[in-house]
Amino acid sequence: EPGYPIAKIRRDFPIVHEAIYLDSAAMSFSPEPVVNALIEFEHRYRANVGRGVHRFTQIATQRYWHAHTKVARFIHGEAGTTVFTKNTTESINMVASGLDWQPGDRVITTILEHHSNLLPWRALAAKGVELEIIGINNDYTLNIDELKETLSKGARLVAITHASNAIGTITPVREIGRLCRDHGALLLIDAAQSVPHIPFSLQEIDCDFCCFSGHKMLGPTGTGILWMKEQNINPLILGGGMVESVSQDGYQSVEGYGRYEAGTPNIAGGIGLGVAVDYLEEIGMEAIRQHEEELTTRLIDGLSRFKGVTIYAPAEPENRIGVVSFTIDGLHPHEVAERLDADAEILVRSGYHCCQPLMERLGLPEGTVRASIGLYTTENEVDLLIAAIKEINQGR
């Protein structure tokens, strides 16, 4: 696509020259400005945030909270409504453990979910919470009719992924947001695979909680986000940093979302995440989406020509992200991934992708091979994967 600055982007990510990396759904790379922000923190002003008055702590505090504002703006939310966590998993667990559950409350989730958006809800069974799991259609899209029917019986919360990390399906979260509002259910969106790859706006998606990971959106590892519309959960972690005052037998929380960040946070990571957001905005999410969608279609078209290769993905580009799961008849997914690395320096994921119930539902007890696209992926890299799969498929 003319105008997409792929050459400049690849200069900013030296690691792309080390291998053909098609595993960005698991972990994206960080560009030089993010790495430099981490180094600058260490070399110039390393200090805790919100504690004390000296100049280092002032710079650290200002930049750390400014990063929150940038992330909130990136998803078109209001400043002051984001909590920095370790990852998506922690964000989801904070919600699951932070709501006051009553016996008989119902949670609705789907078969598409990552284990991280399933196990925290399952664990609520101990509190008498019922869990419903919505299925998918034969074309790998969400069964929205089943969701509507289940929701019509009432639910406290719907927890759903915006985009599947295993088969790439995009779910209709705008419509689901309206349905949840109509039925008085809270909505949690697992946006780990959408915020980094498609334009995302809380102005269009009416949800209550939005969870995603910094390390999948060019940010440092150990960074995650919990966006909340209101402060309607109890903090999971108590202690320093989240209190205004503490007496012999009580405490007063700080105003605002800072009360969900007790203890010294991942300061450098948070600041680096803010720089990652700057980087994504500079390229533009529309451009990133278009680039990744073109490569995804190219990959699916290429692989679908091979007899013996089966692809598991929605047919329409607007229903899928740059995640392409496939199997080769007679070969274990791990074997394919090992061959790709050994023979062609191509790095892909294989196995269940932390979605074992989905793999079982698809009749894939060994899982799949998964290639996933990033903003720095090239057409040539996709073609090299197609050529390598052709060879492995012919040689079996």
Judge whether 116 and 89 are in contact, CB under 8 Å.
yes
Q: How far is the CB of 247 from ligand PMP (least distance, A)?
A: 36
Taking CB under 6 A as the binding criterion, the range among 44-52, 86-94, 144-152, 246-254 that sits at the site for ligand PMP is 86-94
Residue 276: CB minimum distance to ligand PMP, A: 14
Asked if residues 87 and 224 have their Cβ atoms less than 8 Å apart, the reply is: yes
Residues 106-125 that bind ligand PMP (CB under 6 A): 114, 116-117
Answer whether 109's CB lies under 8 Å from 358's CB: no
Give 295's Cβ-side CA count (13 Å radius): 29
- Nearest distance in Å: CB 179, ligand PMP: 21
Q: Does 193 bind ligand PMP (CB under 6 A)?
A: yes
CB of 211 to ligand PMP, least distance (A): 8
At its nearest, how many Å lie between ligand PMP and the CB of residue 221?
9
**Residue 326 near residue 312, CB atoms below 8 Å:** yes
CB of 28 to ligand PMP, least distance (A): 11
- Report d(CA 106, CA 113) in Å as an integer: 17
Measured from the CB atom, the residue of 86 and 156 that comes closer to ligand PMP is 86
From 180, 210, 211, 354, the catalytic residue? 354
Is the Cβ–Cβ distance between 169 and 112 less than 8 Å? yes
Q: Which is nearer to ligand PMP, 120 or 302 (CB)?
A: 120
Nearer residue to ligand PMP within complex by CB, 191 or 300: 191
Determine if 192 is a binding residue for ligand PMP (CB under 6 A). Answer: yes
Q: How far apart are CA 53 and CA 282, in angstroms?
A: 34
88 is a site residue for ligand PMP (CB under 6 A): yes
Two structure tokens written together for 316? 């329409």
Active-site residue, 354 included: yes
Please give the C-alpha separations between residue 38 and each of 54, 102, 266, in angstroms, as whole numbers: 20, 44, 11
Which residue, 117 or 377, is less far from ligand PMP as judged by CB? Answer: 117
Contact 190, 117 (CB under 8 A): yes
**What tokens were used for 309?**
């290769």
Residue of 190, 261, 292, 293 that binds ligand PMP (CB under 6 A): 190
Residue 161 binds ligand PMP (CB under 6 A): yes
Q: Which bin fits 263, alpha (ψ -120 to 50), beta or left (φ > 0)?
A: left
350 binds ligand PMP (CB under 6 A): no
By CB under 6 A, residue 23 contacts ligand PMP:
no
Q: Which stretch binds ligand PMP (CB under 6 A): 189-197, 202-210, 257-265, 281-289?
A: 189-197
Distances (CA, A) of 355 to 114, 165, 325, 366: 5, 8, 12, 11
Structure tokens at 166: 């295993």
Near ligand PMP by CB under 6 A, which window of 190-198, 265-273, 291-299, 300-308?
Answer: 190-198
Q: Which CB atom, from 302 or from 322, has the smaller least distance to ligand PMP?
A: 322
| 3-state SS, residue 225 | strand
**Active site positions, annotated:** 354
- In the complex, the residues that contact ligand PMP under the rule CB under 6 A are 26, 87-89, 114, 116-117, 161, 165, 190, 192-193, 213, 224, 354
